[in-house]
Amino acid sequence: MPESENRFKGLGVSSGIGMGVAHVRESGAVTVPIYSIPASKVDAELGRLKKAATLSRHQINQIRTKSKEGAAAEELGYLLDAYIHMLKDSRLVRGAERRIAEDHLNAEGAVQAEVAEIGDAFAALDDPYIAARFDDIRAVTNRLLLNLTKGAQRPIALVPKGSVIVAEELSPADTALLDPHRVAGIATQLGGPQSHSAIMARALGLPAVLGTPGLLDCVNPGDHIIVDGDKGTVVINPTAATLASYKTRHEKDLRETRLLARLRKQPAVTRDGTEIDLQANVELPIELDMVKQAGASGIGLLRSEFMFMNRESLPDEDEQYEALISLVKPMGGRSVTVRTLDIGADKTTAALMGDFGASTTSPLGLRGIRLSLTCPDILETQFRAILRAGAEGTVRILLPMVSSVSEVRRARDILDQAARNLKRRGVPFADPLPPVGVMIEVPSAALAADSLAQYSDFFALGSNDLTMYTLAIDRSDDQVAHLFDHLHPAVLRLIQFSAEAALRARIPVSICGEMAGDPRYTALLLGLGFRELSMTASSIPRVKKRIRDVDLIAADHRARVIMDQVDSGRIATLLDDFNALA
């Protein structure tokens, strides 16, 4: 155990203590895509796997030929023979083939899932010799994955169990690939608390510290590392005393989580008996179990980008339908609000980068509905998939990044076209058509909320982007993170105006930005009139606890006092004082 340790200060963006071994990711490296494939693509995917396995065997054979001489040649020969065998007829290859054929996983996802299962079986034996043999399997798998992904990617998802991912930056696409059972935490040099990567880390329950200057200069692969997502601290090679104190805190956190979980069956009602609807935000299908555990009344925001990230081509209607149905059906009639593609800014897809380049990476460029209306075929395909899923459950459609009424009108025309197409083909779809709602997340939408309400069946308030665009602060940039402030009077006025416009037009209004999942804001949001909140599933118990302590008349009154203020510092004090009374 070292006598001195290295401590770094960053932005704690996802709470909890993560302890493990540093897996340092080289800058610019890409990761392995996982997605489901339609039945019609199974043979092609099996063919891809076969081709990559053949190429891998060929490469290893070449290494074998080159290394026929030298002291270690014999030993190496045995090892390389074993590698070649693993790529021919082994549990790895057979298991991956079965996952492609039966689970309809893409080849990379199938290889990854299989090797993860083999790794778990090896780990269960708790034998250092066997554990070392797993390194061989990992080496073969990495080669196979590199060949499957044409050498462009490095398999971050294959990290050993208990790894802490250390990187300059993680994109949302990278984060989407992390396996929460293998990863203990995340520490990066860049990135802000409202970035989509931070949101995903919270959704996956991974403690994370982003925006940590100097981190990469002092960490080496294999170092022991602690990520404290509550305090924003990263400790490299902790001393025995530090380790012991973090272990105690970690156990305390676990006890608290267990206590909060007891609230699952309790209703989300205020002290004076008003029921509040608590729904879940979902960015990855893997979160579904957590949604059920948290007792969410529905999915209030399904970020559909997961179907488009980490791939070269766009998903077709069948593929999207199958991905959606895997979420809609298990919700058993509870509503699923599917947001149409919100690619752009920090969320990118290789399939569209070629056509639109830098505009899709600018927060002011072709993002959300703007991109969808520029490529109506993409939107119509997505609508068809949503409408089909709507025949087997309850869905709502949500349009992101809307800034004018004309965008809603055009999107509705495309939706009608999608319905006509399905009718002509005799494919069952939601009848009547699902409600179409609008994200209020850019200032123009908030300021035109009364007009938008005439064309929308519901509003969902996106406080992340509304704060970013109102204050002109990039939510992914750690340098300006300290200026990002939901309590800025300008932001609160836009939120209030939008909520009141919805209430006047008698359409439902929810809030699904990160404000909704932070109990600090709960009383204020209730005071501003919100009765539907949608958040990361793991935040539901904490917010429910706060709701059960709130007296609505008092919250209403405090919200009015707050809305008269001009200074966000004063607003923060008024809010925190009110919360402290609970």
The nearer residue to Mg ion, 465 or 532, going by C-beta atoms, is 465
Angle at 143 between CA 141 and CA 147, to 5 degrees: 115
Cα 334 to Cα 170: distance, rounded to the nearest angstrom: 33
Tell me the pairing of strands 17-24 and 163-167: parallel
Measured from the CB atom, the residue of 119 and 517 that comes closer to ligand PEP is: 517
For position 441 contacting ligand PEP by CB under 6 A, the verdict is yes
Query: Which is closer to ligand PEP, CB of 15 or CB of 536?
Result: 536
> To the nearest whole angstrom, how small is the minimum distance from the Cβ of residue 579 to ligand PEP?
22
Closest C-alpha among 87, 90, 93, 89 to residue 61: 87
Residue closer to ligand PEP by CB (options 147, 456) is: 456
Nearer CB in complex with Mg ion: 469/578? 469
Does residue 367 touch ligand PEP according to CB under 6 A? no
Binding residues for Mg ion, how many (CB under 5 A)? 3
Which one of the spans 2-10, 263-271, 377-385, 458-466 is the region binding ligand PEP (CB under 6 A)? 458-466
CA distances from 226 to 10, 244, 291 (A): 13, 11, 28
Say which entry of Mg ion, ligand PEP, none residue 485 contacts (CB below 5 to 8 A, set by partner kind).
none
In what helix (H) or strand (E) does residue 527 lie, and over which residues does it extend?
helix 519-527
Cβ pair 248, 238 in contact under 8 A: no
Q: Write out the catalytic residue numbers.
A: 196, 512
In angstroms, what is the minimal distance from the CB of 442 to ligand PEP?
Answer: 9
Q: In the structure encoding, which two tokens stand for residue 235, read together? A: 């400790």
462 binds ligand PEP (CB under 6 A): yes
Measured over the CA atoms of residue 179, residue 183, residue 184 and residue 187, the dihedral's sign is: negative
- Choose, by CB under 6 A, the member of 31, 171, 310, 464 that binds ligand PEP: 464
How many Å is the Cα radius of gyration of the chain?
25
State the Cα–Cα distance between residues 167 and 319, nearest whole angstrom. Answer: 32
List the one residue out of 6, 551, 431 whose CA is nearest residue 226: 6
Q: How do strand 436-440 and strand 208-210 relate by DSSP bridges? A: unpaired
Residues in the chain: 582
Cα–Cα distance between 221 and 241 in angstroms, integer? 22
Q: How far is the CB of 350 from ligand PEP (least distance, A)?
A: 20
Considering only the stretches 232-240, 288-296, 409-417, 457-465, report the one whose residues sit in contact with ligand PEP under the rule CB under 6 A: 457-465
Q: Scanning residues 448 to 487, which ones bind Mg ion (CB under 5 A)?
A: 462, 465
| x/- letters, 418..447, toward Mg ion (CB under 5 A) | -----------------------x------
- Asked if residue 355 lies in contact with residue 382, where contact means CB atoms within 8 angstroms, the answer is no
What is the CA 64 to chain-centroid distance, rounded? Answer: 42
Q: Which does 512 bind (CB under 5 to 8 A by kind): ligand PEP, Mg ion, none?
A: ligand PEP
For 195, 553, 579, the CA distances from 487, given in Å and listed in that order, are 18, 21, 15
Residues 291-350 contacting ligand PEP, CB under 6 A:
301, 303, 342
Taking the complex as a whole, how short is the minimal distance between the CB of residue 462 and Mg ion, in angstroms? 4
Q: How far apart are CA 478 and CA 170, in angstroms?
A: 13
Among 372, 463, 510, 579, binds ligand PEP (CB under 6 A): 463
- Residue with Cβ nearer Mg ion (18 or 462): 462
Residue 515 and residue 492: Cα distance in Å, rounded? 11
User: Which of the choices ligand PEP, Mg ion, none does residue 546 contact, using the CB cut-off of 5 to 8 A by kind?
Assistant: none
The interface with ligand PEP within residues 498-517 (CB under 6 A) comprises 512-513
Closest distance to ligand PEP from the beta carbon of 556 (Å)? 24
Instruction: Look at residue 513 and give the partner it binds from ligand PEP, Mg ion, none, a contact being a CB closer than 5 to 8 Å depending on partner kind.
Output: ligand PEP
Sheet holding 224-228, edge to edge: 6-9, 233-236, 224-228, 17-24, 163-167, 183-188, 208-210, 11-14
- Interface with Mg ion includes 283 (CB under 5 A)? no
- Per the CB < 8 A criterion, the answer to whether 166 and 24 are in contact is yes
φ and ψ of 16, to 5 deg: 110, 165
Instruction: Output the residue with the shortest Cβ distance to Mg ion.
Output: 465
| Dist. CA 177–CA 171, nearest whole Å | 10
Using the contact rule CB under 6 A, the part of the chain among 100-108, 203-211, 460-468, 499-507 near ligand PEP is 460-468
* Cis omega (within 30 of 0) for bond into 172: no
Using CB under 6 A, which residues numbered 32 to 91 contact ligand PEP? none
CB of 194 to ligand PEP, least distance (A): 7
* Partner whose binding site includes residue 238, from Mg ion, ligand PEP, none (CB under 5 to 8 Å by kind): none
Q: 338 contacts which partner out of Mg ion, ligand PEP, none, CB within 5 to 8 A by kind? A: none
* Site residues for Mg ion per CB under 5 A: 441, 462, 465
* Site residues for ligand PEP per CB under 6 A: 199, 301, 303, 342, 441, 462-465, 512-513
